[in-house]
Chain A
Amino acid sequence: MENAGTSQPPLTARAAGLVACTQCGRVHDAETAECRRCGSVLKSRDTTSLQRVMAWWVAGLIMYIPANLYPMLRTTTLGKDTSNTIVGGVIELVKHGDYGVGGIVFLASVIVPVGKFFAIAYLAFSVHRPDTMHNKARQHLYEVVEFIGRWSMMDVFVVAILTALVQFNIVLAIHPGIAAICFALSVAFTMLSAQSFDPRLIWDADEASQP
Chain B
Amino acid sequence: MKPDEPLDLDSLIACPVCDLLHTDAVIPVGSQARCHRCHTVLMTPRSQAMTHIVMLATTSLILMVAAVFFPFLDVTAAGLERHSSVMDTILAFSTGLLMPLSFAVAALIVVLPTLRLVAILYTVTPMAIAYKPWPHAKAAFRLAESLQPWSMAEIFIVGVAVALVKIGGLATLKLGPAFWAFAALVIVTALKDTFMCKLTVWKTLEHRSPR
Interface, chain A (partner B; CB < 8 A)? 1-6, 10-16, 18, 20-29, 36-40, 89, 93, 96, 98, 101, 104-105, 135-136, 139, 146, 150-151, 153-158, 160-169, 171-172, 176, 178, 180-181, 184, 188, 191, 195, 199-200, 202-203, 206
Q: Is the CB of A164 within 8 A of B77?
A: no
Chain B nearest CB: distance from A11 CB in Å? 5
Q: Is the CB of A23 within 8 A of B159?
A: no
Q: Is the CB of A1 within 8 A of B80?
A: no
Can you name 26 A-B residue pairings with CB atoms under 8 Å?
Answer: A1-B24, A1-B33, A1-B35, A2-B23, A3-B21, A3-B23, A4-B7, A10-B36, A12-B21, A18-B14, A24-B202, A25-B13, A38-B141, A39-B138, A40-B142, A154-B162, A158-B166, A160-B159, A162-B166, A164-B84, A171-B77, A172-B170, A199-B17, A200-B17, A200-B18, A203-B38
Chain B nearest CB: distance from A97 CB in Å? 10
Q: Is the CB of B101 within 8 A of A96?
A: no
Chain B nearest CB: distance from A20 CB in Å? 3
Residues in chain B near residue A180, CB distance under 8 A: 93, 98, 101
Q: Is the CB of B77 within 8 A of A2?
A: no
- Kindly name the residue among B1, B21, B27, B141 whose own CB sees the greatest number of chain A CB atoms within 10 A: B21
Q: Is the CB of A160 within 8 A of B18?
A: no
Residues in chain A near residue B139, CB distance under 8 A: 39
Q: How far is the CA of A37 from the CA of B122 in the complex (A)?
A: 18
Q: Is the CB of A203 within 8 A of B19?
A: yes
Binds A, one of B46-54, B55-63, B104-112: B104-112
Contacts of B146-204 to chain A: CB distance below 8 A: 149-150, 152, 155-156, 158-163, 165-167, 169-171, 198-199, 202-203
Chain A nearest CB: distance from B104 CB in Å? 6
Q: Is the CB of A203 within 8 A of B37?
A: yes
Question: Contacting B158 at CB < 8 Å: which of A16, A96, A154?
Answer: A154
Q: How far is the CA of A126 from the CA of B82 in the complex (A)?
A: 53
Chain B nearest CB: distance from A36 CB in Å? 7
Known: A11-B21, A139-B17, A153-B155. A27 touches B9 (CB 8 A): yes
Closest A residue, CB atoms, query B109: A157
Question: Contacting A1 at CB < 8 Å: which of B9, B22, B171?
Answer: B22
Q: How far is the CA of A139 from the CA of B37 in the complex (A)?
A: 10
Interface string of B56-73 (1 = CB under 8 A from A): 000000000000000001
Known: A28-B9, A160-B93. A14 touches B19 (CB 8 A): yes
Q: How far is the CA of A25 from the CA of B165 in the complex (A)?
A: 45
Question: Contacting A16 at CB < 8 Å: which of B3, B43, B92?
Answer: B3
Q: How far is the CA of A73 from the CA of B85 in the complex (A)?
A: 21
Q: How far is the CA of A207 from the CA of B15 in the complex (A)?
A: 15
Residues in chain A near residue B17, CB distance under 8 A: 22, 139, 199-200, 203
Q: Is the CB of B16 within 8 A of A20?
A: yes
Chain A nearest CB: distance from B48 CB in Å? 22
Residues in chain B near residue A89, CB distance under 8 A: 166
Q: Is the CB of A15 within 8 A of B3?
A: yes
Q: How far is the CA of A181 from the CA of B92 in the complex (A)?
A: 13
Q: Is B97 an interface residue (CB 8 A)?
A: yes
Q: Is the CB of B202 within 8 A of A168?
A: no
Contacts of B109-152 to chain A: CB distance below 8 A: 109, 138-139, 141-142, 145, 149-150, 152
Contacts of B1-45 to chain A: CB distance below 8 A: 1, 3, 7, 9, 12-25, 27, 33-38, 42-43
Known: A13-B21, A27-B14. A1 touches B36 (CB 8 A): yes
